[in-house]
Amino acid sequence: MSDSPWFVSRPTSSRAPYLVYCFPHAGGNARSFLSWQQHLAADAELVGVCAPGRGLRLDEPSPAGIAELAEGAARAITAAADRPFLLFGHSFGAVLAFETARRLRELPLLRHLVASGCAAPRLLPSERVRQTAKLRGQEFTEAVAFFGGLPPEVLAEPELQDLLLPGLRADFHLVSGYRYQPGEPLPIGISLVNGREDPHVGPAELRHWEHESVLPLRYHWADGGHFYFGPDPAPAVDLLRSLIRADSSAPGAREEHVELI
């Protein structure tokens, strides 16, 4: 795998035939996906996408907006991708993966986009996200707790919040500044995977994704809330594996048909 600062991955004993680029949620760490590698086994190499100003790149300037971030990710993927790949993003990461896919639309190696826990881009940012991005301190912490994913000890300890939440605040600021620009539908399929109990994203927020692909959407529902994969990554990993194996049966070709999941 490329030694680009954009990517983190785990060494594999053999070269996998497929790549999966994973974009983390707001405040998330690209390394959090690496535990999924064991479930994908030899089907694919999983690569976490690490943005400037986050994780191991904390000393780099943060991007001014999602468009700038997507441009950088697309350039890095174009330079590194040497086999078929798909993009997976959760929540904020799904918006970034979508905008990156737009910039990679002419690259034949791009095969699919998986958007997890994310309303259609044309509906973003939501009013809740806009208002949350304006908050500071404990008010911000309590507001983001609505989405889930914050450990109880972080909610209870201001010192931990000061240490762990700056990246989350920065990502909420990026999302609140996002402005969807209409464009041609992607020439690849889009799969949506979401928690049934997600209080922020439901069927009404998902259906507008249909405007973003020339192919019918694939819907996949999992038990749980916004971070449905926290207790068990199987819903996301099983979907990734099924897409990879279906595409691998027709190497070198874009998708020509889909089935609803």
Which pLDDT belongs to residue 259? 36
Which pLDDT belongs to residue 251? 45
Quick one: which of 72, 74, 96 has its CA closest to 85?
Answer: 74
Give the C-alpha separation, 110 to 14, whole Å: 22
Which pLDDT belongs to residue 260? 37
How is residue 90 written in tokens? Answer: 């959760």
How is residue 37 written in tokens? Answer: 């590698």
Which pLDDT belongs to residue 16? 94
Tens of pLDDT along 131-176? 999 998 888 888 888 887 677 777 778 777 777 788 889 999 999 9
**What are the pLDDT tens digits along the chain (261 aa)?**
568 999 999 877 689 999 999 999 999 999 999 999 999 989 999 999 999 999 889 899 999 999 999 999 999 999 999 999 999 999 999 999 999 999 999 999 999 999 999 999 999 999 999 999 999 888 888 888 888 767 777 777 877 777 778 888 999 999 999 999 999 999 999 999 999 999 989 999 999 999 999 999 999 999 999 999 998 999 999 999 999 999 976 444 444 333 333
Which pLDDT belongs to residue 142? 86
Tens of pLDDT along 206-237? 999 999 999 999 999 999 999 999 989 999 99
